[in-house]
Amino acid sequence: MAISKKAGKKTAPKSAGVTKVAKADWKEGFKKKQAGVSDMTLLTTIDENNINTNLQKRWTVGEIYTYIGGVLISVNPFKDLGIYTDETLQKYKGKNRLEVPPHVFSIAESAYYNMNAYHENQCVIISGESGAGKTEAAKHIMQYIAAVSGGEDSSIQEIKEMVLATNPLLESFGCAKTLRNNNSSRHGKYLEIMFNTHGEPIGAQITNYLLEKGRVVGQLENERNFHIFYQFTKAASDEQREQFGLQGPDAYEYISRSNCLEVQGIDDSNDYADTLNAMGVIGLSNQEQNEIFRMLAAILWLGNVRFEEMNDGNSAISDTGITDFIAYLIEVDSAMVQKVLTSRVVETQRGGRRGSVYDVPLNPAQATAGRDALAKAIYNNLFEWIVSRINVSMKARSTSAQVIGILDIFGFEIFEDNSFEQLCINYVNEKLQQIFIELTLKTEQEEYVREQIKWNPIKYFNNKIVCDLIEERKPPGIFAALNDACATAHADPAAADNSFVQRTAMLSSNAHFEARGSQFLVRHYAGDVMYNIAGMTDKNKDALVKDLFDLVGSSGNQFLQTLFSDRPDPSSKKRPPTAGDRIKASAGALVDNLMKAQPSYIRTIKPNQNRSPTEYDTKAILHQIKYLGLQENIRVRRAGFAYRNTFEKMVERFYLLSPSTSYAGEYTWQGDAKSGCEQILKDTGIAKDEWQMGVTKAFIKNPETLFALETMRDRYWHNMAARIQRAWRNYWRYKNECARRIQRFWKNNKEALEYAKVRDYGHRVLAGRKERRRYSLLSYRRFLGDYLDVNGQNIVGSDLRSACGLGAEQATFSSKVQILVSKFGRSSKLSPRFLVVTAKAVYIAATSQKDGQIQTSLERKIPLVTIKSISMSNLRDDWLALNCNASEEGDPILHCYFKTELTANLLTLTQASISVLIGPSIEYAKKKDKKAQIQFVRDETIAKDDAYKSHAVHVPSGEPSSSTSRPAARRKPGIVRPITQGKLLRAGGPSDKGKASRPKPVAQPLPGKSAQVAAVRPTPVAPKSAPAPSTHISVPPPHKEPEAELYKAKFAFEGQEGEISLRKDDTVELVEKDENGWWLVRKDGQEGWAPNNYLELIPPKPKAAPAARSPPPRPPPPPSAPLAVAAAPIPASSASKPTVSIVSVKSLAADASAKPVAVFPGLAPSNGSAVPWKKSAVVSANGSSSSTPASSRPSSSLGVKPPPVAPKPKPVPPPVASKPSGSKPSLKPPIPTAPRPGAGVAPPKVSKPSAPAGQMDLAAALAKRAQKIADE
């Protein structure tokens, strides 16, 4: 059984010729399959039934989100699906909507991305019925933006926390349970989150729309008041209960009348804690919170004030204890509270008693209405104050760049009894539907016509006629008729209602309006709604009587005074705005704000009226599909264009994608914005049917195309980053290779010099005294010292170190030797040993075999201080004796091939305190008191080395004692390898035609942007050498100019800095030849280097008769010194005194004692010192030095041409020309070329200095090149 690639699993070996089919995985059947289509523009048949079927399929399996292009359709699941976690949120971060399934997070990501990318304000419009999930969608959008918008600053984090804290706070005060929704928004809000240029939130602002304050004093059966009342009465602290006389919710008429104190899924106590926490996050002080709850308590107690009818029909307060407590809460006189609630002050405006004031008692119905009006006014103003207080806390911390708006507003409502509140709510929804139609249907089709785009028109219902029916002044609409009825019959609400009934008859001409006595019907886009006129004019007036304002004005509570700070002026004759006026103005302002931003849409659908997670009401959903216009939306989306923008914006966003419009990140298109935009779309390879060019805009059909453009743009920056990284890595590879070559050269030469020093010292010790072996005089002989690698990891060396017990001591010399061993009764003979020398002693070790194993043991240790002398013969043998102090073992007699090195090593360790005795014999102590001699006899019959027998060594003749080491062998010439290899080197060479280099275009200002001066690096132009001054005072005779050699380019060559670019068959003029294979040539007045294997000599033409030349102008007096090889530019002030430069030439040599210097391309030496290998400066006549080298190219004594140019196998040449000289000194030296002989006497010819052989030449070339680049 063999282990397969799947770790741990075993498979049977395959039988030959049998193909085994992989078994299907049963788990694949349990993978979640997509239900329906995620984007309904892909539906095969577009009708309302197919749309409903697709939504039902997805809703049944928990897929509540579906797209229509960029519009998100959301069907309320009425349960927690667990799809709003942080893990899910991260999946949508940075993704476009096609990469991930439909989700509200995708809409939030799109708005946030577009704001940052296009620098345009964004808004998210959430619409749908009450209970369809609008508030939840808005909360999740805020959750996403807070999570992805970044920002580590404490103020940014504070803004995020405040934005999220507005949800529980405004839900408590602005939401309530209705028959259709347990958390229905009874107000509208438009939250604007402000961002800085980095996309970080710096502030926010909330605009409130039409709080349903009537809910404070009355609700339908099984509905509830605002959540805060139930939270407050259930979870208030004991201190609050004591201070405000607070009791349970069932004790208060305003919140218990509808018989709904508990709601499934709502925990009022927990929500109260969240509300208090949100107040703290927003920044409400304890005093402010206490005043808010005081007002709530006052409202609750106001609802418990009951009126009883007296005999005269007037009202009286049943329990004055309640009014006394209300007076305590709002800090007014108790008697005044009772008076205001039971009577009204009336001032006559007409008749003979104009200006008379009367106290008119109220009946119980009128008194109840006055009480409710006061409660509604307090709560409405309290809610407005909370919103304004939130805005103060969330005020922008810095300048705002862009805004994302989130609209969470009440949904369309149809009840059994619909009144003024439903009219206002449905009117606002009509306005939102009108925006949707304007931006997605009507405006889009009008724009196609205006921009002359080919397009198939789509029919749709335009609800502008319904909006005009409600809001128009001429002819008067519903709001105008209400205002007129209030103005003509302001005293009696019933009379005002009757007046309004009469005025509705004038609206019957509108097909969407139908008057039915005390009711009227409006055919809204969402369905027909029957409105009840009773009480509608009074609600439209929405004004407190003067008595109630006077009551508030007499209060000692400053917070209550603040809530009613905008009390109307009683002396003003101007009619105060009605509720209809205010809602119309608010809706108009909302529309203006939304039209200034780029909208995103979320259309919410309510699947049933029972809030059931399993019931799907097909009839109700078909109705919503119809009035939301989803069918028309799909048709427009499929027939139209998903994205459009002006040519200028398109070019600004995507000019990087085309090489015709950009170069290295700069905009270079010189045509108009339209042609540039068209060029971009062509160069990106987008099919022609995917885009159209309008008059002022470009249109892109599918969002996939736009996403592809965005992906290409993102990839462009990634590619640029990769190119920069690749260039940086090439630079470091180049730098490291330079460093390695310099280090290698330095080590080789430095170590070689050190070894040579040791060898020379050994030669000096034996010089003139002892014949030498021929192999000892070879040039490559090095005194390495530790031949047995005792200091390394070698096995033999490790055994020796262990046997000798060296410990941390380092060996300075180790080698195999033979030692003369005397045996009793026998003649002495040589025996192999190991010799190790340290700074303290000489160790002699021997190997022996014991039990079949070879062991190494220390035989003798000789301290260096005991060695008095070293005895050697004067012949060419390898024998020596270490003469020690008298010892029992005697003096060791060694036969060592490295005797000279051993002797030099011992002398170095002992500071030459050991004497070296050289003679015809060696005298040694055989034992402590027994001396012996070994005689050395010259014997030419010995074929190799020497021979020992009976105290005599026979040795053949050797090299004379005066011999010195042979000179260093000349190294074999080789090719200098290129330093860099990689993708940065451009293609080209004799085998293929190189492409002509693309000239860098001039950067252009972006369309619509102010022109900016583009920083263009000037191309260096080689200035012509100034003619050298003549050495003759008189005018020389006409001189015949020698004809220059002309060459033809055999191949195209793409030059870099300092080189010249050639096209095939270009003709150039030869200026200078260099031995390294590069020639200096001139073409069209410019000079540069080119490879000589690319050039072919053009045969000279037959000479014609020379034409007469005019004599040159009279030169200045000649200098006394010889002419310079290269004349530098002479300032005008010193033209009369020309300077003469003298070229000083030295050979190059490495200094072993010099410190290593790191010299890299483009960088000066790190230690500030000069480069050790560089030519001496050119010294001028006045003593100043010039850094101009004697040759403008790195010379090479190798005498070979470089390989073909395609992989760039040459060092990068220095720049050809210096920058134009003027008042500023030139940064780069000019090419040091001698002037041509034509001004009289030809200048002296200076030969190039020859470089040392071997590696010294490479080092000189590298150092000279590095110095040139550093000087630049």
Q: Does the pLDDT value for residue 1003 go beyond 70?
A: yes
**Could you tell me where the beta strands, DSSP code E, fall in 1131-1224?**
1141-1142, 1178-1180, 1185-1186
pLDDT at 1198 over 60: no
Mean pLDDT of 278-291: 94
Q: What is the DSSP string of 353-367?
A: TTT-EEEEE--HHHH
Look at residue 768 in the predicted model and tell me its pLDDT.
Answer: 85
| pLDDT for residue 1103 | 53
User: Residue 315: which H helix or E strand, with range?
Assistant: strand 315-317
For 892-956, list the strands marked E by DSSP.
Answer: 893-895, 915-919, 921-927, 930-938, 947-948, 952-955
Q: Once rounded to an integer, what is the mean pLDDT over residues 652-679? A: 87
Asked whether the predicted pLDDT for residue 1228 surpasses 50, the reply is no
Residue % of the chain over a pLDDT of 70: 75
More confident call, 746 vs 985 = 746
Q: How confident is the model at residue 1268 (pLDDT cuts 50, 70, 90)?
A: low
Please give the mean pLDDT across all residues of the chain.
77
Which of 15-24, 536-545, 592-601, 978-987 reaches the highest mean pLDDT?
592-601
Which residues lie below 8 Å from residue 815, measured CB to CB, with a gap of 6+? 787, 788, 834, 835, 896, 897, 898, 902
pLDDT confidence band for 978 (50 / 70 / 90) = low
pLDDT given at position 593:
86
pLDDT greater than 80 at residue 71:
yes
Q: What is the mean pLDDT of residues 262-279?
A: 93
Q: pLDDT at residue 1020 above 70? A: no
Of the pLDDT bands very low, low, confident and very high (cuts 50, 70, 90), residue 879 is very high
pLDDT exceeds cutoff 50 at 311:
yes
Whether the per-residue pLDDT at 585 is higher than 80: the answer is yes
Work out the widest C-alpha separation in the chain, in whole angstroms: 170
Among 263-277, 656-670, 1090-1104, which is the least confidently predicted range? 1090-1104
**Residue 117 pLDDT > 60:** yes
Characterize 237-256 residue by residue with b for buried, 16 or more Cβ atoms within 10 angstroms of its Cβ, and e for exposed: eeebeeebebeebeebebbb
Structure-model confidence comparison of residues 633 and 1147, the more confident one: 633
Nearest-CA neighbor of 367 among 417, 301, 318, 300?
318
Average pLDDT over residues 424-437: 85
Highest mean pLDDT among 327-331, 643-647, 1159-1163, 1240-1244: 327-331
Task: Show the DSSP H helices in 519-646 as ranges.
Answer: 536-541, 546-553, 558-563, 579-595, 618-628, 630-639
For the chain, the helix, strand and coil percentages under 3-state DSSP, each to the nearest 5: 35, 20, 45
The pLDDT confidence band at residue 1055, using thresholds 50, 70 and 90, is confident
Instruction: Give the pLDDT mean for 727-745.
Output: 84
Q: Which residues pair with 939 in a beta bridge?
A: none
Judge whether 684 and 710 are in contact, CB under 8 Å. no
Burial classification of residue 1084, based on how many CB atoms lie within 10 Å of its CB (0-12 exposed, 13-18 middle, 19 or more buried) = exposed
Three-state SS at 1088: strand
Residues 6+ apart with CB under 8 A from 1133: none
**pLDDT of 1167 strictly over 50:** no
**Tell me, what's the pLDDT at 217?**
92
Indicate the residue type of 1005. Answer: P
Alpha-carbon gap, residue 1118 to 55, rounded angstroms: 102
Is pLDDT above 50 for 1079? Answer: yes
1133 pLDDT higher than 50:
no
Q: Say what the pTM is.
A: 0.55
Backbone angles phi, psi at 874, to 5 degrees: -95, 5
Instruction: Tell me the pLDDT band of 1269, cut-offs 50, 70 and 90.
Output: low
Residue 663's pLDDT is 83
Output 413 or 856, whichever has higher pLDDT.
856
Q: Quick one: average pLDDT of 237-264?
A: 92
Confidence bin at 566 (pLDDT 50/70/90): confident
End-to-end CA distance of the chain: 69
Residues 1129 and 1111 sit within 8 Å (Cβ to Cβ): no
With a cut of 70, say whether residue 1202 has pLDDT above it. Answer: no
Angle at 136 between CA 43 and CA 634, to 5 degrees: 20
Over range 751-770, report the average pLDDT. Answer: 80
| Residue 1271 pLDDT exceeds 90 | no
The residue among 679, 677, 655 whose CA lies nearest residue 668 is 655
Closest residue by Cα to residue 64 from 92, 95, 102, 91: 102
Q: What is the CA radius of gyration of the chain?
A: 52
Residue 439 pLDDT class (50, 70, 90 cuts): confident
Highest-scoring range by mean pLDDT, 237-246, 500-509, 559-568, 886-895: 237-246
Range with the lowest mean pLDDT among 162-166, 1002-1006, 1161-1165? 1161-1165
- pLDDT tens figures, 153-177: 888 889 999 999 999 999 999 999 9
- pLDDT score of 845 more than 80: yes
Please report the pLDDT score of residue 1266 as a whole number. 53
* pLDDT at residue 704, as a whole number: 80
- Percentage above 90 pLDDT, the chain: 29
**Range of 151-160, 899-908, 1067-1076, 1248-1257 with top mean pLDDT:** 899-908
443: pLDDT confidence band, cut at 50, 70 and 90? low
Query: Is residue 1083 scored above 70 in pLDDT?
Result: yes
pLDDT confidence bin for 1152, thresholds 50/70/90 = very low
DSSP, res 981? -
Residues annotated as catalytic (active site), given as ranges: 130-131, 135, 181, 184-185, 411, 413
Residue 1035 has pLDDT above 70, yes or no: no
Would the pLDDT of 1122 be above 60? no
Backbone angles phi, psi at 429, to 5 degrees: -65, -35
At residue 996, does pLDDT exceed 80? no
In the prediction, which pLDDT does 1256 show? 42
